[in-house]
Amino acid sequence: MIIFPMVIVFSLIAFVYFKVFQSRGYGPAQRQLYGAKASISLGIFVLSFGVNAYINYQTTTAAVIGLIFTALGAANIYFGSRQHRHFSPLAKEEKQQTA
């Protein structure tokens, strides 16, 4: 399947993009918001890597590694989205105060 390698590449590019913008943020809430977006992108990367490993190499070792990566990726996505929901209104308020 070609879909998982494409998701892996795009999520890795998004991770680097958000990490660069995290260092360029204009306030602490904005930096945390970009960090949360980077965490979600990293979670998508790890999750899709785990699913891809399981699908392509259907062995017991690949199943164990795939399950571990899938669990870690899902946890990263979950906690990153919680962090994003928390810091999104704070970043908007911070942006309005500076503008």
Domain with 87, as residue range(s), is 3-98
Share of residues in the chain with pLDDT > 90 (%): 73
Spans of the chain, pLDDT less than 70: 1, 99
- Rounded CA-CA distance 88/76 in Å is 17
The pLDDT value recorded for residue 37 is 97
Residues ≥6 apart with Cβ < 8 Å to 61: none
The answer to whether the Cα torsion of 61, 70, 7, 28 is positive or negative is negative
Q: How many distinct structural domains can be found in the chain? A: 1
Q: For residue 58, is it left (φ>0), alpha (ψ between -120 and 50) or beta?
A: beta
Q: Each residue of 28-53: pLDDT tens digit? A: 999 999 999 999 999 999 999 999 98
